[in-house]
Homo-oligomer: A and B are copies of this chain.
Amino acid sequence: MSKALIIDDEQQMRRLLRMVLESRGYEVCEAAEGQLGLQEAAFQRPDVVLLDLGLPGLGGIEVLKRLREWTDVPVLILSVRDHETVKVEALELGADDYVTKPFGTAELLARLDVIQRRRFTRQSPQIVAGALVLDLLHHEARLGDELLKLTPTEFALLKVLAEHSGRIVTQNQIVKQVWAGQSSDPSEGLRVHINHLRKKLGDSGPRIVNEPGIGYRLNSD
């Protein structure tokens, strides 16, 4: 049986959600405030979290952020606002889906189903090259424990190199994949981005070595 954690300050909403969820066979626990929600999450280890964005005190976004620091539990966002920015922010922080109040119970349950099903099949597609790990889903690059701060172009570039880790990738291949379908000729700028990447990768991690006249190679040792 799955366990669900509700974090919402309105008691009425909590009661409604509890009824719907219990009727569906969920075990339910609640928290009326952000800080308590985090404690409950750590203590109860729910299988899914329903999080209201309009929390007093510690806001929903902040709760989600702290939650994501240590767990990947699926989070379904509840909000009366339909501000696109907040929605996007929440999803980028790793929320799994979003429902706008008021919502029908059918819609809620449907989205929960999707999340739960995804949970078992999901594992982020990722590319590993030595200590370097690229999480394609979350657009994250890690070097050991450290989270690299890469621009989109840098990420795409590193992705191409890491996909063929240890082998040469032609400059042509790199340009075609990173700048797919663009008319401008970035063959000059490629060197600049390589330079940036090398700086961010540092001295200890994998190295990007040049094969003069041909292309680049990512050496993961």
Query: Which A residues form the contact surface with B (CB < 8 A)?
Result: 35-36, 38-39, 41-43, 66, 69-71, 138-140, 151-152, 164, 167-168, 170, 172-173, 176-177, 180-181, 211-215
Contacts and interface: CB of A to CB of B under 8 A. Distances in A.
Q: For the complex of A and B, list the 7 residue pairs with the smallest distance between their C-beta atoms, beginning with the closest.
A: A42-B180, A70-B176, A39-B181, A70-B173, A152-B213, A138-B167, A39-B180
Contacts of A71: 173, 177
B211 A139 contact: yes
B181 A168 contact: no
A40 B135 CA distance: 19
A85 to B, nearest CB: 25
Most central of A36, A66, A167, A212 by chain B CB within 10 Å: A167
Summarize A's interface: helix, strand, loop or mixed. Answer: mixed
Contacts of A139: 168, 170, 211, 214-215
Contacts of A214: 139, 152
Contacts of A38: 180-181
Given A70-B172, A70-B177, A139-B170, 12 more contacts: A38-B180, A42-B176, A70-B170, A70-B176, A71-B173, A138-B164, A138-B168, A139-B168, A140-B167, A151-B213, A152-B213, A152-B214
A176 B35 contact: no
Contacts of A42: 176-177, 180-181
Contacts of A35: 181
A172 B43 contact: no
Contacts of A167: 138, 140
Considering residues A39, A43, A181, which has the most beta carbons from chain B within 10 angstroms of its beta carbon?
A181
